[in-house]
Chains A and B, each alone.
Chain A
């Protein structure tokens, strides 16, 4: 892709890293909120390129990881209903709920289909008028416009056999929860570039001012991440705190207004439980009144209380309190082949990132 080479170029990355070394005089903790960025950091060894005094803390930005266990159980129970086809993103299949995983149900004969685009769920609904098609609509603000569009299409085409199990989460309230924690150890945030590509970054100004914390909109390539870190460190060293965009080629201040318009139409903001973390006020999307007819929770009312029942410390990992390799189960009771928690399953999960890239001898994997 055009310019992708430069943003992966080792010499440019080294040069930006050198500049971080020259600027840094103190220790700082910087949280990358997005799990995709955690994976890039581990894959490219970004944590090894920067000064030892800069600590990268991995944030809660893994949608599959924060989807409540109750919602996962609910998806499974819906999939077990007669004539249902459950459509899900592949990452969700192996995430353990309290009664097993969706992939377990699939091998037992439930019709669970892996999709890469939510529009496929609309097509499946058109092709199967006698079946009830349920889209498992999870994700952050990056995925929400796609799911919203599928739901909007279902309404306009009167696809009565289509519904959505919606469990969307929003980034700014999660940043606020972390920043407002009295024992917050985060000095600066790298905001996820692809989330901001949709939402823009107006909402971050208030957070940055209120908690006096630099927030840098950052991309996913090695040079992007290093540049995000460089700008965050510059602000910290100068005692400044504002919102900065290190991902200008992709992110406009107002994001994607068309997508934001559709989000406002299809969804409304609601309190949402984050798995392992707890309920964060106004931190998710549910369907708006106008689209309530397409709510799978209304169509399949199920009474069920879920319980977490293993030693998984995902909540501590997602809040940046525990590094994945500090979890007692890491690499022993919990591996990608037999995961105890979602962070070991998802390609945005921090535990999977540490497991996958641990051979690289990353600093993060050294004994603490």
Chain B
């Protein structure tokens, strides 16, 4: 078991299915089980694709400096 912070609420989460998860990483948690690690580089890559496609004119990393 591990502990996960759900936007301020900390709860116990079963990590059996995600043994490789590291402290500080993000995961999808369903009925108390972490089932998938959120891949940060993929998250950024998808967002970057929107820029490449010309969908976005601005760099939202600049617009949201806290990211």
User: B50 to A149, Cβ gap below 8 A?
Assistant: no
Contact of B17 among A89, A143, A145 (CB under 8 A): A145
Task: Let me know if B67 is at the binding interface, CB within 8 A.
Answer: yes
Q: Which residues of B contact A248 (CB under 8 A)?
A: 39, 42, 45-46
Q: 29 A-B residue contacts at CB 8 Å? A: A3-B38, A3-B44, A3-B47, A6-B60, A11-B56, A12-B50, A12-B60, A16-B50, A16-B55, A19-B53, A19-B55, A89-B31, A117-B32, A118-B32, A119-B32, A142-B35, A146-B30, A149-B16, A197-B35, A197-B36, A198-B36, A248-B42, A249-B40, A250-B39, A251-B36, A256-B36, A258-B18, A259-B17, A259-B35
User: A194 to B14, Cβ gap below 8 A?
Assistant: no
Residues B1-36 near A (CB distance < 8 A): 7, 14, 16-19, 26, 28, 30-33, 35-36
Interface centre among B18, B35, B47 (most CB of A within 10 A): B35
User: B43 to A249, Cβ gap below 8 A?
Assistant: yes
Q: Which residues of B contact A249 (CB under 8 A)?
A: 38-40, 42-43, 46
Q: Which residues of A contact B64 (CB under 8 A)?
A: 5-6
Task: Let me know if A18 is at the binding interface, CB within 8 A.
Answer: yes
Q: Which residues of A contact B35 (CB under 8 A)?
A: 142, 145, 194, 197-198, 256, 259
User: B16 to A119, Cβ gap below 8 A?
Assistant: no
Q: Which residues of B contact A142 (CB under 8 A)?
A: 30, 35
Kindly report which residue of chain A lies nearest to residue B46, judged by CB atoms.
A248
Shortest distance between the CB of A170 and any CB in chain B (Å): 16
Q: Mark A2-36, 1 if CB is under 8 A from B, else 0.
A: 11011001011001101100000000000000000
Kindly report which residue of chain B lies nearest to residue A255, judged by CB atoms.
B36
User: A116 to B31, Cβ gap below 8 A?
Assistant: yes
Taking A2-B40, A6-B60, A118-B31 as known contacts, 7 extra A-B pairs with beta carbons closer than 8 A to each other, sorted by chain A number, are: A2-B67, A12-B47, A12-B50, A117-B14, A252-B36, A256-B17, A258-B17
Task: Let me know if A302 is at the binding interface, CB within 8 A.
Answer: no
Kindly report which residue of chain B lies nearest to residue A120, judged by CB atoms.
B32
Q: Which residues of A contact B45 (CB under 8 A)?
A: 248
Contact of A146 among B14, B18, B47, B67 (CB under 8 A): B14
Shortest distance between the CB of A42 and any CB in chain B (Å): 21
Contact of B56 among A15, A143, A258 (CB under 8 A): A15
Q: Mark A317-329, 1 if CB is under 8 A from B, else 0.
A: 0000000000000
Task: Let me know if A244 is at the binding interface, CB within 8 A.
Answer: no
Q: Which 3 A-B pairs have the closest CB atoms?
A: A117-B32, A197-B36, A249-B43
Q: Which residues of A contact B38 (CB under 8 A)?
A: 2-3, 249-250
Shortest distance between the CB of B11 and any CB in chain A (Å): 9
Cα-based distance from A194 to B17 in the complex (angstroms): 14
Shortest distance between the CB of A284 and any CB in chain B (Å): 18
Cα-based distance from A337 to B28 in the complex (angstroms): 31
User: B26 to A197, Cβ gap below 8 A?
Assistant: no
Interface centre among B17, B38, B39, B53 (most CB of A within 10 A): B17
User: B19 to A3, Cβ gap below 8 A?
Assistant: no
Task: Let me know if A187 is at the binding interface, CB within 8 A.
Answer: no
Task: Let me know if A295 is at the binding interface, CB within 8 A.
Answer: no
Contact of B7 among A1, A143, A194 (CB under 8 A): A1
User: A146 to B32, Cβ gap below 8 A?
Assistant: yes
Q: Which residues of A contact B58 (CB under 8 A)?
A: 11
Cα-based distance from A256 to B34 in the complex (angstroms): 11
Cα-based distance from A15 to B56 in the complex (angstroms): 6
